[in-house]
Amino acid sequence: MRVLHLNFEKTWRGGESQVMHLVRGLRELGVDNELCTYPGSDLFKNAVGNGFKAYELASINELDIISSYLLSKIIRSGKFDIIHVHTSHSHTIGLIALKILKDPPKLIMSRRVDFEVGKNFFSRMKYNSPVISRIIAISEGVKNVLVHSGLEESKIDVVYSGINISEVKSAPVINDIRAEFNIPPGKKIIGNVAALAPHKDHATLLRAVKILKMKFNDFILIIFGEGLLRAGLEELVNNLDISDYVIFAGFRQEIISYMKQFDYFVISSKLEGLCTSLIDALSCGVPVAATETGGIPEVIINDFTGLLAKPEDPEDLSDILFTLINQPELCRKFRENGLVHADKFDFSNTVRTTFEVYKKVLGNDV
C-alpha cells in the first residue's frame, strides 16, 4: 500500500504532529508513506529526519493550478494507491490534481475543525466531490458538524486523534516551573496549552481570571503557546488589571514536563475538533476545566473526567475553576477517571483505525 500525505502548513502545530505520528505508525504496519509539504516547513524537516521521502511544493493558495498540475505529476510517477489530505488547503490542491489524472488513486480527507462547511457553490463542490472516497473526522463532534453541513454521513469515519499515552505518563519532570517563573510555593498553578488563535478564545479565559480573583486570589494562570493574538491578549491583561495573575510563557518543546506541575488545566475554546492537549492533561493526572464545544465532551466527560463550562461564558468558566480549587476530593476522582479514560486516545488506536479506513477504500484487497 502506497500513500501520499498532503499538508502545506508552514508552521508546526497539532495537526502536523498528528501527521508525523500517523506516518510513523503506519510504517510499522507496512504502509509505504511519502509526504508532500511546503518547502522547508517543519513538517518537511521532520519527515526527512524520520526517513520519509518528502516532496516540496510551494502552493500559493487553494486555487493554485500550477501546484495542482505539479502534484498530479508527483502522483502519476509515484503510483500511489491513496492520497490522504490533512488540511483544507491541501484538500483543494489534491482534488484538482486528481481531476487532471485519467486513473486517479483514492482520495481520503481528514477534517480536524468543528466549524460548518461553507454554503457557497465552491465549498459544496469541494466537499461533496465524488472524487472523495472517505472523510475522516477526528471526533464525533466534527462528524456531527459535517453531517449538519449536508455531507453524506455514510462517507464519514470517526478516527480520534491521539497521543502516545505511555510516553506521556512515564515522561520525567526535567524542569522546575516554580523556579523558572518565580511562582511561590503554595500558589495554585492553572495551566493552559494552546496556540494564541481566535478559536482558542483566550479572551474569555482572561475575563474568567478577572472574576476568579475576586473569589480566590492565590493562583497564577500560565499560558503556553504562541500566535498572532499575543500582543492583543497582553493588552487585555493590562486592561483587566490582572497582570499579577497571568504569565505568557511562549512555546516550549518540553511541555509535558511543565504540565505535570500544573495544579489544574484549563481550555477555553469556542471551536475545537478534539484538543489533544486535554488528553495530555488527563494522562498527566491534572484536573481539567474546559468548554463544552466540538469534540471536547468526548475527552472531558462532565463531572467524570473534569468539568465543562458554556463556551464564551467567563462567569461559568470561573465557577468551575473555583469548584476545582475548593474540592480536592472531586479532583482526585477526576485524576483517577481521567487516567483510565485517556487510554481510549492512545495513538496506536488512531493508526489502527486509519489503516482500517485505507483498507476499506481499497476493498480490503491489501
pLDDT tens sequence for the chain (366 residues): 999 999 999 888 888 999 999 999 999 999 999 999 999 999 999 999 999 999 999 876 667 789 999 999 999 999 999 999 999 889 889 999 999 999 999 999 999 988 888 777 677 777 888 889 999 999 999 999 999 988 999 999 999 999 999 999 999 999 999 999 999 999 999 999 999 999 999 999 999 999 999 999 999 999 999 999 999 999 999 999 999 999 999 999 899 999 999 999 999 999 999 999 999 999 999 999 999 999 999 999 999 999 999 999 999 999 999 999 999 999 999 999 999 999 999 999 999 999 999 999 999 655
- Give me the sheet containing 246-250, strands edge to edge: 246-250, 219-224, 188-193, 264-266, 288-291, 307-309
The beta-strand segments (E) located in the chain are: 2-7, 32-37, 53-56, 82-85, 106-111, 132-137, 156-158, 188-193, 219-224, 246-250, 264-266, 288-291, 307-309
Amino acid 61: pLDDT: 67
Give SS3 for 35.
strand
For the chain, what are the domain ranges?
Answer: 2-162+346-361, 166-345
**Contact (CB, 8 A) for 165 and 129:** no
99's enclosing H/E stretch is helix 88-100
How far is residue 166's CA from residue 168's CA, in Å, rounded to a whole number?
5
Cβ neighbours of residue 61 under 8 Å, at least 6 residues apart?
89
Give SS3 for 352.
helix
Amino acid 283: pLDDT: 98
Residue (of 114, 95, 51, 46) closest to 273 by Cα position? 114
Amino acid 185: pLDDT: 94
DSSP state of 225: -
What's the fold here for domain 2-162+346-361? Rossmann fold (3.40.50)
CA 217 to chain centre: 32
Residue (of 125, 58, 120) closest to 92 by Cα position? 125
Amino acid 60: pLDDT: 66
Record the pTM: 0.90
Amino acid 228: pLDDT: 94
Amino acid 125: pLDDT: 75
- What is the tens place of the pLDDT at every residue in 91-108? 889 999 999 999 999 999
Amino acid 59: pLDDT: 75
Amino acid 130: pLDDT: 86
- Do domains 2-162+346-361 and 166-345 share one topology? The answer is yes
Amino acid 322: pLDDT: 98
What's domain 166-345's architecture? 3-Layer(aba) Sandwich (3.40)
CA angle centred on 97, ends 91 and 101, rounded to 5°: 140
